[in-house]
Structure 1
């Protein structure tokens, strides 16, 4: 069981079980940050999947991290951690079973999937129109009392910042990030050819450079975007770990993206975001910045959508290249970044 630590232990130790998706993990960070601010002497350990460990290593509210390594090994690691409480952000039965097996005295989470008996306390989502966002569910689990949640915070490693700076050293400003992917699938993806048209239009009108970014599965769509611009574009899909990806997003003057983990990562590092939504509800899962621009035409606004959806595809198709270009130019003109 790999463990990383950022500080010495304190008297009270609590475990936070991270969501499994990068976007959800970032949306949970404001609650963890508020918990840490309210209880600075409590040591917070986050349990996360291996791919999310680098993300949580950049959050300053967390002192230790555990890596999920199978149910038995992970439950034993939790037992050895001697936690007084476990806060469960995922709704899965497994996330409740692990601290139950480790005999953690307090186990708090939403009712979830047939797991009430594994919890000592069931949190109830807030019934407040001002607290619809998913981030407030995590705050409720942690018993956060503030009326306002801060933006997710990430402290980028110096090596990641240096790598990102070197990659873009020869590119002309403005740096325009385009993220044509979305891990959830086609139901959240604006067509790649429209991202390409947007990239070409913005390059032509600003003289700037394009950074096409995403995971390895986004390589094909990012290649389409980069090809539309030529030598003034970089296709970085699948070539960066999370810290360098975050650093590259932080260097961008604007980021254009789908409703995705990359959208939340861009917001966390302060980049102005133009987010393209189909039928998912930005009031529940939108970016947590204060200067983001959301483009959506659909009257349907759902919490979750299937990976493929004709309705979502139609809704995304109604958003024009011109609208996206105009929103990006407005963001560039104002030059406002998140504090």
Structure 2
């Protein structure tokens, strides 16, 4: 049995969009097995061909992402004792100190991805250097036109084939989400638009301006679309104010679990979101999505034929040198009419 270890901690959205790598590694082993079977006349016994076992190391808050997925065999939390385990290959897709230290310490025949040298992130293999450059070199970051998934595939020695892995929701989870919507007055005859109002403490300008959100909700009402406003704990107060001003909107529980959140996203006909976990969940669940990009690059987001990207006309003024600024002008720079038009296009 070929034993593979994947390390991906990072943001939850990055965990979701790294899943296709695991699927591709499984597929690669199946192809190699098939080739061995075709060579049985040369003395290769197909019964002796290797299976692949993938162990994924992540943070505890990401564990529920992996429920019912068949592309990963074992999920362990960073900090678990892996000292006694030996792997054929370790793939580290994370530059966090904890991830690089773990990758360096694990016993493996081959190591791919990221390590650290003298306190700084470094590459185990030449193919990993490009992504490092996109993180630490502004010129490369600006010029890059590869999606995150493609860069992860290439550093792993795989050919990017637009692989997609969907989060797996149970019937019970879907029914519970439907029940939560029904309690709030959801009308299944109307189109349901999901609007995520979250942003990022690190990049506060990722969040659409409150004034634009209000305009958008009014426009949706005129179109007779229902809207569910998604928020996390950091945006609970914003969601509460919107519910007061627009009593007809539906809402999620800001403290809901990842899977409860995903099940509600899966009910939407279209999702409107900034560059956030909600966007990656929507794409994973094959939901038509409108992505709003203010200060983070749209080029690293894989579209999968589902995503319409709306990029702020001020984007280049902020990316990447001023990404961490909180600019009200920037957050107001995407107009409601453009977003409504994109949603209409998705609903046709």
Q: TM-score range by the shorter chain?
A: 0.7 to 0.9
Q: CA deviation at 1:319?
A: 1.2
* Aligned residue runs from structure 1 range 146-225, under 5 A: 146=160, 148-169=161-182, 170-172=185-187, 173-183=190-200, 184-206=202-224, 208-225=225-242
| Whole-angstrom CA distance in 1 between matches of 2:211 and 2:101 | 45
1:322 is aligned to: 337
1:121 is aligned to: 125
TM-score, normalising length from structure 1? Answer: 0.82
| Whole-angstrom CA distance in 1 between matches of 2:117 and 2:322 | 18
Task: Give the secondary structure class of the aligned counterpart of 1:251.
Answer: coil
| Whole-angstrom CA distance in 2 between matches of 1:304 and 1:31 | 30
Q: CA deviation at 1:326?
A: 2.0
TM-score, normalising length from structure 2? Answer: 0.80
Which of 283, 290, 306 is the equivalent residue of 2:305? 290
Question: Are the aligned partners of 1:85 and 1:105 in contact in 2 as well (CA < 8 Å)?
Answer: yes
* Aligned residue runs from structure 1 range 238-317, under 5 A: 238-284=254-300, 286-296=301-311, 297-300=313-316, 302=319, 306-310=323-327, 313-317=328-332
**Relative to structure 2, which stretch is displaced further, 181-190 or 102-111?**
102-111
Count of equivalent residues: 311
| Whole-angstrom CA distance in 1 between matches of 2:158 and 2:119 | 23
Contiguous gaps of at least 5 residues in structure 1: 1-10, 335-339
Q: Describe the shift of the 1:113–1:221 C-alpha distance in structure 2 as closer, same or farther (beyond 3 A).
A: farther
Q: CA deviation at 1:142?
A: 2.2
Which of 212, 219, 229 is the equivalent residue of 2:246? 229
Q: Describe the shift of the 1:81–1:199 C-alpha distance in structure 2 as closer, same or farther (beyond 3 A).
A: farther
Question: Are the aligned partners of 1:31 and 1:149 in contact in 2 as well (CA < 8 Å)?
Answer: no
Deviations 1:273-312 (A, max 9, x none): 111111321012x2533131111123517368643344xx
| Whole-angstrom CA distance in 1 between matches of 2:17 and 2:322 | 18
Superposition CA RMSD, Å: 2.7
Task: Give the secondary structure class of the aligned counterpart of 2:6.
Answer: strand
Deviations 1:161-219 (A, max 9, x none): 1211211234012111110102344121111332232122202312x322111321121
Q: Describe the shift of the 1:114–1:188 C-alpha distance in structure 2 as closer, same or farther (beyond 3 A).
A: farther
